[in-house]
Structure 1
Amino acid sequence: MSVEAKAAPFAGPAAAEKAYRLEEHIGFVLRKANQRHLALFSARISDLTPPQFAALARLEEVGEASQNQLGGLIAMDAATIKGVIDRLKARGLVEIDTHKEDRRRLVVRLSAEGRDTLARLRLLAFAITEETLAPLTGRERASLMRLLAKIG
């Protein structure tokens, strides 16, 4: 099936004659919103990347996880999460150990330094979310988060 045939049911029959306005398309709008958020994040938290922060935050929630589990919990593929974990380990923010029952499996957990770092950065992370969502009302924020979760 051609790309045009796949797109037709969603775009309607007149779509081929309609001008393509980038700002009317979800990918472009999401990318702009993400760029805004990433700029705010890097301005306030310069010592961690958003994926590194996400890994620390999720480990705080779950206690410990395998590398693959952690990747799934923060929407990252196996190759990407491995690099994130390696960098966090090199900085002493996580510990890697063998699983208690299955010695072939490795588990990742926060180190004391990782817990301290997360505690220090938590308020900044809340402020970044607030600033990212600042143009929206409380109701709009809740709707946006609900709708994005629905398509994510």
Structure 2
Amino acid sequence: MPSEPAAALPRRPPPEADDGPGYRLDLQVGFLLRKAHQRHTAIFAQTIPLGLTPTQFSALVKLAEAGPCSQNFLGRLIAVDVATIKGVVDRLKARGLVTATTDPEDRRRTLLSLAPEAEAMVSALHTAGREITEKTLAPLSPAERRQLCALLEKLSE
């Protein structure tokens, strides 16, 4: 099925136009967030080294920031559930980017740490992260960027 040219797509009305009895999908927060997320994900995929997923990237960067910690705690730090962090950590360990050792203070607990290869990548990950943020927010003014981030933080509380 051929797609319609972009010029044929209707222009989006201002948000205040959504006060009528109809339902406009393109004015809904979930739809707009999904579109913004798709754009960000595409930028991420073009920029990040080693083909890491956004969640793997988050786990590595947070582990570098927090230092050795349990899998459960790392999951909480990056806001993912227990099942998701397990899969993320398993894949990072398989790639040799994360190591697991027994906690010397509590032998029942395992601590995760960055492997030497990942430690060497931290600076590049930070640089890539800044580039991704810059490209994602490029259409916005500095004030709009601050406002968007503040509003997203508020929605995430």
| TM-score in same-fold range (> 0.5) | yes
> Following the alignment from structure 1 to structure 2, what is the Cα–Cα distance between the partners of residues 139 and 103?
49
Q: Secondary structure at the match of 1:64?
A: coil
Of the three residues 84, 92, 97, the one matched with 1:88 is: 92
Structure 1 residues without counterparts, runs of 5 or longer: 1-14
Paired residue type of 1:78 = V
Percentage of identical aligned residues: 53
Give the structure 2 partner of residue 52 of structure 1.
56
> Following the alignment from structure 1 to structure 2, what is the Cα–Cα distance between the partners of residues 31 and 69?
28
> Following the alignment from structure 1 to structure 2, what is the Cα–Cα distance between the partners of residues 23 and 74?
29
After superposition, give the CA deviation of every residue in 1:63-86 in whole Å (9 maximum; x if it has no partner).
Answer: 011111111111100001001001
Give the structure 1 partner of residue 13 of structure 2.
none
Of the three residues 122, 132, 153, the one matched with 1:128 is: 132
> Following the alignment from structure 1 to structure 2, what is the Cα–Cα distance between the partners of residues 68 and 119?
25
Give the structure 2 partner of residue 34 of structure 1.
37
Of the three residues 99, 108, 119, the one matched with 2:103 is: 99
CA positional deviation for 1:115:
1.2
Q: Secondary structure at the match of 2:83?
A: helix
**Would you say how many aligned residue pairs link Structure 1 and Structure 2?**
137
After superposition, give the CA deviation of every residue in 1:28-74 in whole Å (9 maximum; x if it has no partner).
Answer: 11111111000001111252111000000001110011111111111
* Pairing 1:137–2:141 present: yes
Structure 2 residues without counterparts, runs of 5 or longer: 1-18
Q: TM-score if structure 1 supplies the norm length?
A: 0.85
Q: Which runs of 4+ in 1 moved over 4 A?
A: none
